[in-house]
Amino acid sequence: MPFNVPTIRSLIESGLIDIEASLDTILPKFGIEQALNAAVSGSLRDLYDYQSWIVRQIIPSSESENQTIIDTARSEGVIQKLATNATGPVTFAGNSAIPIDTVMTHSDGRLYQVTLSNAPSGGNVIVQVEAKATGAAGNLIAGETLTLVSTVPGIQPNGLSGGITGGAELETPAQVLERLLFRKRNPPMGGAVHDYVGWCREVAGVDRAWAVDNYQGPATVGYAFVFDSRPDILPTYIDQLTMADYIYRHKDPATGTDVGRPGGIEAVHIPLTLKTTPLAITIYPDNADLRQSVQASINGYFKTLSPGSILLLSMVRTAIGSTVGISDYELDLSADVTAIDTELHALGAITWGTP
């Protein structure tokens, strides 16, 4: 039977009954006894609230404090992923070496610093750079122009990025909680299929991952992963190489011991493609806040889907209809959407109708 925390009013009323029973008299409406009863009842309610708060911290959940989630996860071997800086190559035309720590900028103001400079070759110089700021904002697609802040003799000022990746935000407590629950429900077993999912999600920026046993026959495990915080959520070639190295061998974030795929097992990256589904929606009532809420609700459903799963019309309708404030809606999707094993459903552009 659940325990209901008494309200302050009920505490005052029960306290008043006890005092009158003890004194065998009816207390006046105003008096020292009434004041003391109200003060003690308020303090008692504070104790009930504190106990309720403790209950929410014992077993980590979405109602727990952020620090409780992070500390409990750490004790269970799930370490919060820190923000990282994006890194990658940039190619400049020239015949001189570019000094370490040379700074370059993107047209939108993002700054990058040289961490490794190669010798000139064939009229070009390739340098490795790191974003000055941490987070996903430092990621830059291949072909973007970066300009030297200060000129370097013998080097053209504009260079082309070769794909600067790896920048990720500090992992949120909600994401830490999700990984903690996954670990509790799927304890590490030294190379079970679910271990590959856990290893993938330990890499900075990776939000979702999947693994398939016997992907290409016996002794093979297929794995796939995506970066939901990026405009293009699919991993780049560099991301794939980084993940392959991590799965092969890495130090456990909690213990520091070497872990990775067992000997004799081949881990194979599954190249995913996105199956984008655009939607046309008309909501009643219609305003910017409700549109944003509906889109977030639909996105939340899409993120529960795995490669090759079926996009259910009923679940899309549920995501829209269950949004607080929506009284009615119209949706152009009329049937479930299937996908092959290497396709991952993604929400396309939403066309909003006018009621």
- The fraction of the chain above a pLDDT of 70, given in percent, is 100
* pLDDT above 90: residue 239: yes
Q: Does domain 87-161 have CATH number 2.40.30?
A: yes
Distance of CA 82 to the CA centre of its chain: 12
pLDDT of residue 1: 64
Q: Please, what is the average pLDDT of the chain?
A: 93
Q: What is the pLDDT of residues 32-75, one digit of tens each?
A: 888 888 899 999 999 999 999 999 999 999 999 999 999 999 99
- The fraction of the chain above a pLDDT of 90, given in percent, is 85
pLDDT of residue 184: 94
pLDDT of residue 32: 86
pLDDT of residue 67: 95
- Residue 20 banded pLDDT, cuts 50, 70, 90: confident
Neighbours of 189 (CB within 10 A): 9
Q: Does domain 186-269 have CATH number 2.40.10?
A: no
Q: What is the pLDDT of residues 309-329, one digit of tens each?
A: 999 999 999 999 999 999 999
pLDDT of residue 355: 77
pLDDT of residue 54: 94
Sign (positive/negative) of CA torsion 246, 345, 214, 194? positive
Query: 82-92 in b/e burial notation, b at 16+ Cβ within 10 A?
Result: ebbbbbbbbeb
pLDDT of residue 180: 96
Q: What is the pLDDT of residues 204-235, one digit of tens each?
A: 999 999 999 999 999 999 999 999 988 899 99
Query: What mean pLDDT is predicted for residues 92-116?
Result: 95
**Minimal CA–CA distance to 246: which of 269, 229, 227?**
269
pLDDT of residue 324: 94
